[in-house]
Structure 1
């Protein structure tokens, strides 16, 4: 998502870009059902790999907003891929999962944080994009390898089709601001719906009260309990005032369940000197995605296709050219005069809207600084099922991070509560534009990505 801050004529519209890939022409839900699958395969099956769309997204952003040549933009990434980068404290333990994969290259050789990782195939792919645009990637070495690996799942026409679409962003008014996110096929509507519901509820004077977490959890549950039936690429009418009011009336029910699962996502935000802001998120889905590697460049392939349903006739049923439901929830906030207030986002799988609901409410309703809002302890709905859009836990357990102080109060209010020390509560980032135009940013202290290497 992108928008423009500033005053007077400098204010500009908010735009949303959907660059999620589509299933290949060989997608066949009936065949998967005939093989005995009741849900999409997660690992080592190319059918969980829609055509990767992020490169199309980069190129669309560059075409609209870019100023530097692509070769200059990609140069630091090419250098790191070719010369090596240090494995982060987060990557090192994850790499054990692919230690037996002969096609994983240096990723399979990581033993500890700080180990050097070289990805020469990634460097070649980035250079091909810089030199040849999308054709250099989708119809070049990577595309040829994907067709080879796919064995009929994809056609050349699938790779020729651009995956990046500029779409109308969703918006809701909450706490005196307009909050924007991307429309389906991603779940940004859950954040906006939760905020719209919450804005009409009575909130305690302090976020230290268990009643605060209770109100947010009720709002998130009322927004998300039926996501499985609603989230697909053609979903509409999710944020009408009548729908928000209808769901607000559900906040007293304790029997609503919500999806909750982890993923592997990267979020970044930026605001430049001219006030142009970007809230960008992309994801491999779960960890190393499909655990497949395109054979020519060695690029690890995602498994966002696990968001598809195998239920016959479901609007998100796996099929040719379809986009799967996504968990990605980029956020952008504007003031009533149209000027930029904030850009924010987080990793966190299904819990992304829940995490952002807490951060944005702290920021807008309680006036906390970006650092306070990001670092504060969190809750999330837990499942323990792993990343799976179509599988829920029995009941809705509210998982609490260390230091929340809400456990007894939430239990007294009827919640099933579980303390999860060191659990997955997202890695959020935020940039706030202060009234005087100064920028205040915060990055999540939970992010275990600090590692450096150099001369």
Structure 2
């Protein structure tokens, strides 16, 4: 562990993160002072938050406070999560909003069960793959901009499904804080300000033809995004949320808002009809759990999400005692990366909408995990892993949040517009951007994830849940495209194998392996990048990076934290009910309780 901690401390002594400097309008400068000492724990982390009656952890301090206000007013954890998520759609439009999709895992103390909800949307029912390809003019993949990658936004329907089952307050009351902040304004947070700047640049550099005028007027009216600390209002979103709160779920999918959205999308070349919106529905699904070590179990949602990739990694890694090496050692890193590559080879081959392609359940067995583990060469990186024979990646912008109430209801929720802020399209007067989640369809008709009418694409966003000794223990999430399953496992390994506390487990330097087979590529390859690239944060020791390169890994050091996800977690002591929360230093977030 010493080498790992030394590497992180060295980072603190060298530079101020670029994001922090940019937020102040200053260039990166040398920092001549390092971290101070701590009475307990690692010097590169801070204390986790501990409380008793309720807790929330989100990517924005104001959204966290919204959740706590709802809990104090008698709302359930689900009420608080909906209220905070609505606020995040306003305050963190770079990561989520009601133009995107939602997944959640909920523990209900009354039934003592885990519930999963899949709030992802589908493609147009009347558009075939051939018709879509004709619109692509020979392109071999869906674009990230414009109408073609849009799928039906599922967030609002998922809110109402969750609320019907577990809510205590009215939906109008739950949405009221976001409505108020949208009308009266809120100050832009530093990291979100940086993401707004990057998204504007990305939209402006695109060669695709799409209607950016409404989005520009909403977020970039003066030719630049609002800066950190600048007050931002969104009266259109306030009106939209107020309408949804007053008229219910149908206002969005089969009511006063629907015709305007459909007409606009059709003007932009979309095949969506009003029936596509009216027929949309979320699905309650059963989370699956896989045992790791020391009584810990990781629980994830099934496809079309990529959650089971984390479970596959866990099944592979329990064949090796990682604690025999330091956390920052090349040996530990190598096994983690190879386990990720093995799991993602299966992701690219098998993960898709289960209504269109069956998922091989053997992928989650101990026996299959042990067989895949045997393929890892402890001395070097395997150039290419193929999928197994059982009986995605891309950077994504997402928000993860979690709420636990005094009764022990625990909500693990993730919500996203996918890449960037989404498709770039904003229907007039609505105040939100449509997602570009359909970019993740494959255009190979033989692939399980191939585009088809009325089909959900492969999905990257995944909430997680952890049991300990068979009891509900912790909500967990780590946003960011293909980073998510490998991030879940890295945090779990930090907790279980290396004894870090909840905050240290998220603050510790991470890796993001990108590349390898993709669920958007042709079924049988050849794959563009079978080995992939191992991106690491500067906290990984230099000697470990050198050793990994000697082992055959392609390693790059990235120092701004942006591609390594955004973590939140809350653990609940099953005996005392005491809550411990943690949030992400790479974001603007806050964990807080009372």
User: TM-score normalized by structure 1?
Assistant: 0.91
Query: What do residues 19-71 of structure 1 show as CA deviations (whole Å, max 9, x unaligned)?
Result: 10111223332123332121112112x12111100101111111111111111
Q: 1:37 aligns with which of 125, 128, 139?
A: 139
1:393 pairs with 2:529: yes
Taking the aligned partners of 2:177 and 2:431, their CA distance within structure 1 comes to 19
Higher deviation after alignment, 275-284 or 113-122 = 113-122
Q: 8 Å contact 1:22–1:163 — kept in the other structure?
A: no
Query: What do residues 218-247 of structure 1 show as CA deviations (whole Å, max 9, x unaligned)?
Result: 111111123222110114213123322232
Query: What do residues 264-323 of structure 1 show as CA deviations (whole Å, max 9, x unaligned)?
Result: 101001111011101100111011211111223132111011111111232222122100
Q: 8 Å contact 1:88–1:449 — kept in the other structure?
A: no
Higher RCO, 1 or 2 (CA under 8 Å, sep at least 6)? 2
Query: What do residues 148-205 of structure 1 show as CA deviations (whole Å, max 9, x unaligned)?
Result: 1222611222111232110111221111222111110000001111011101123233
Taking the aligned partners of 1:204 and 1:178, their CA distance within structure 2 comes to 18
SS at 1:48's partner residue? coil
1:224 pairs with 2:344: yes
SS at 2:455's partner residue? coil
Q: 1:161 aligns with which of 279, 286, 300?
A: 279
Taking the aligned partners of 2:492 and 2:256, their CA distance within structure 1 comes to 43
Taking the aligned partners of 1:40 and 1:257, their CA distance within structure 2 comes to 26
SS at 1:354's partner residue? helix
Q: 1:24 aligns with which of 119, 124, 131?
A: 124
Q: 8 Å contact 1:141–1:296 — kept in the other structure?
A: no
Structure 2: which 5+ residue stretches go unaligned? 1-103, 205-211, 387-391, 522-526
Taking the aligned partners of 1:388 and 1:196, their CA distance within structure 2 comes to 21
Q: Which residue of 1 aligns with 2:58?
A: none
Taking the aligned partners of 1:127 and 1:392, their CA distance within structure 2 comes to 47
Q: 8 Å contact 1:89–1:449 — kept in the other structure?
A: no
Work out the number of aligned pairs and report it. 444
Query: What do residues 302-349 of structure 1 show as CA deviations (whole Å, max 9, x unaligned)?
Result: 101111111123222212210000111211011233x21111001111
1:201 pairs with 2:320: yes
User: TM-score normalized by structure 2?
Assistant: 0.71
Taking the aligned partners of 1:449 and 1:314, their CA distance within structure 2 comes to 39
Q: Map of 1:67-216 to 2, 5 A cutoff?
A: 67-96=168-197, 97-98=199-200, 101-104=212-215, 105-109=217-221, 110-151=225-266, 153-175=271-293, 176-205=295-324, 206-216=326-336
Q: 1:430 aligns with which of 546, 569, 576?
A: 569
Q: 8 Å contact 1:343–1:432 — kept in the other structure?
A: yes
Q: 8 Å contact 1:264–1:349 — kept in the other structure?
A: yes
Q: Which residue of 2 aligns with 1:332?
A: 465
Q: Map of 1:366-377 to 2, 5 A cutoff?
A: 366-377=498-509
1:254 pairs with 2:382: yes
Q: Which residue of 1 aligns with 2:69?
A: none
Per-residue deviation at 1:85? 2.0
Per-residue deviation at 1:352? 0.7
Taking the aligned partners of 1:113 and 1:241, their CA distance within structure 2 comes to 48
1:312 pairs with 2:432: no
Q: Map of 1:346-361 to 2, 5 A cutoff?
A: 346-361=478-493
Taking the aligned partners of 1:368 and 1:434, their CA distance within structure 2 comes to 16
Q: 8 Å contact 1:191–1:353 — kept in the other structure?
A: yes
SS at 2:337's partner residue? helix
Q: 8 Å contact 1:181–1:189 — kept in the other structure?
A: yes
SS at 2:400's partner residue? strand
Q: 8 Å contact 1:90–1:449 — kept in the other structure?
A: no
Taking the aligned partners of 1:5 and 1:31, their CA distance within structure 2 comes to 44
Change (3 A) 1:182 1:119: same
Per-residue deviation at 1:382? 3.2
Structure 1: which 5+ residue stretches go unaligned? 451-455
Q: Which residue of 1 aligns with 2:155?
A: 54
